[in-house]
Amino acid sequence: MLTTPVKPEQKIIRVLRLKVLDRPGYFGRIASRLGELKANIGEISIVSQGPDFIIRDISVQIQDDKHLAVVVAGIDEIEGVQFESVIDPVQTIHEGGKIAVRSRVKLESLADLRKIYTPGVAQICKLIHKDISLSRQYTAIPNTVAIVTNGTAILGLGNIGPVAGMPVMEGKAVLYEQLVGISAVPILIDSADIDEIVATVKAIAPTFGAIHLEDIAAPECFEVERRLQEELSIPVLHDDQHATAVVVLAALLTITQRMGIELTECSLGVIGLGAAGAGIGQLLQAFGVKKLFGADLRQDALDRWKSRGGTPTDLTGVMKNADVIVATTGVPGLIKPEMVREGQVILAISNPDPEIDPELAITCGARYAADGRTINNALSYPGLFRGAIMANARCFTNSMKIAAAHAIAGQTKMDNLVPSILDREVHQHVADAVALACADHEC
């Protein structure tokens, strides 16, 4: 039986900076003591060295702050070891932000200045003024994506506002640049008003080749996306809906192929009909899945699901009637062991904690199970946007999304359900497939 890896126990990482006597045996004492204190040692590096001491950074995995205090006290007892500091590597890597605007050309002389700025730049401005399409050739516009959020639905945190959500947007921008070479700019909008969000994005849209909507709460996100796509001539995609749906479809294509069945013949249930759940339902319906059950505590979400051809029910109804379960509620432990039926496929993709742990679901009879660490939308949106930009697309179609899912499934190896997010070739395959699908099915 093929399963996803067992979810490890959640731990935190801290770096211990220690000044240690430079004599045989002292580091061995530290390592032994950390083992006794149940702190798992990771990376070790030398920060500096003196005549009789070495300052080392030792990365350790610990349970929590209480455990850290015990570790610090235990190490402090060792003769010849002096504590310098405890470093949080996550905070350290975020200091100063994770992104920056950098020049692609050199500025080393007055000649360079005159070519890239005045007076030379006027020549390019005149060309674009005569033919605005030349902006695709002579500016960064076509390769620049706006990551727009109002911070009302930040992953795992909820409505914390746009500024608190900025580290997430910066992280997305890093993935864009590193994985597909797109320049992505976070745009923070401090408003939940649909008209204001739409007007703001429309006003800045000439700067960008595409609009990536991110962490905007349902139901407002549906209207924001619809209106922007109707009123702009560049592609608009709400990541939480459609990029998530693409990866879910990719995983289900892999699973059903291995099971020797057709996905279109399966009954599928979605628990949680917000942005992600609604997007998953729409794409699976477009793919050809006919039996779609949906559960949500909100009546408006159930009504919307029914209006789009799905069957509204409750949690029990989904678990009873569906062969494939996709949960997007953000409620840890919502799916109880006794609810799982033999042979079901369960993708509990809420982050950071799933509705049921994959290991437990498998134990209870599920044939396949995965969580949000595996089914991660970062597998699809870089390639989706790169492909749309390559094809000069005006929108994202279902054909483009389905092509992306097939590309991801086609790159899945061994017993994995999806490929590695860090595999650059996967993102290029997705981009190529999306561009081809766009050429075949224009908006």
pLDDT-wise least confident of 87-91, 288-292, 437-441: 437-441
Query: What is the residue range of 110's domain?
Result: 98-139
Do 146 and 123 have their domain in common? no
Do 347 and 313 have their domain in common? yes
CATH number of the domain within which 148 lies: 3.40.50.10380
**Contact (CB, 8 A) for 146 and 204:** yes
How many Cα atoms sit within 13 Å of 244 on the Cβ side? 28
Q: What is the mean pLDDT of residues 173-191?
A: 98
Instruction: Say which residues have a Cβ less than 8 Å from residue 349's Cβ, sequence separation at least 6.
Output: 244, 248, 276, 326, 327, 328, 370, 371, 372, 375
CA distances from 95 to 90, 91, 132, 175, 186 (A): 9, 6, 39, 18, 17
Split at pLDDT 50, 70, 90, the class of 11 is confident
- Boundary (domain end) residue, out of 123, 139, 155: 139
Do 200 and 131 have their domain in common? no
pTM: 0.90
Q: 26-47: per-residue pLDDT in tens? A: 999 999 999 999 999 999 999 9
In a domain? residue 1 = no
Do 265 and 200 have their domain in common? no
Do 314 and 327 have their domain in common? yes
Do 166 and 219 have their domain in common? yes
Enzyme catalytic residues: 117, 172
**Nearest C-alpha neighbor of 219 from the set 331, 307, 142:** 307
**Contact (CB, 8 A) for 147 and 187:** yes
CATH number of the domain within which 404 lies: 3.40.50.720
**Contact (CB, 8 A) for 374 and 417:** yes
Rounded Cα distance between 180 and 423, Å, is 11
The two tokens of residue 321 are 């009637």
Q: What is the mean pLDDT of residues 290-313?
A: 96
Looking at residue 155, what is its pLDDT?
A: 83
* Pairing, β 81-87 against β 12-21: antiparallel
**Nearest C-alpha neighbor of 431 from the set 397, 380, 374:** 380
| DSSP secondary structure, 26-51, as one string | HHHHHHHHHHHTT-EEEEEEEEEE-S
In a domain? residue 2 = no
CATH number of the domain within which 18 lies: 3.30.70.260
Do 348 and 200 have their domain in common? no
Instruction: Say which residues have a Cβ less than 8 Å from residue 299's Cβ, sequence separation at least 6.
Output: none
In a domain? residue 3 = no
Residue 89 has φ and ψ, to the nearest 5°, of -65, -25
Do 215 and 314 have their domain in common? no
Paired residues of 58 in beta bridges: 16, 44
Do 408 and 298 have their domain in common? yes
Do 60 and 167 have their domain in common? no
CA distances from 31 to 26, 113, 354 (A): 9, 56, 34
Residue type, 6: V
The two tokens of residue 201 are 């994005």
* More confident site: 6 or 369: 369
Rounded Cα distance between 332 and 251, Å, is 21
- Note the maximum CA span of the chain: 76
CA angle 328, 330, 334 (to 5 degrees): 85
Q: What is the mean pLDDT of the chain?
A: 94
Do 126 and 147 have their domain in common? no
Q: 54-66: per-residue pLDDT in tens? A: 999 999 999 999 9
In a domain? residue 35 = yes
Question: Structural domain tally of the chain?
Answer: 4
Q: What is the mean pLDDT of residues 210-221?
A: 96
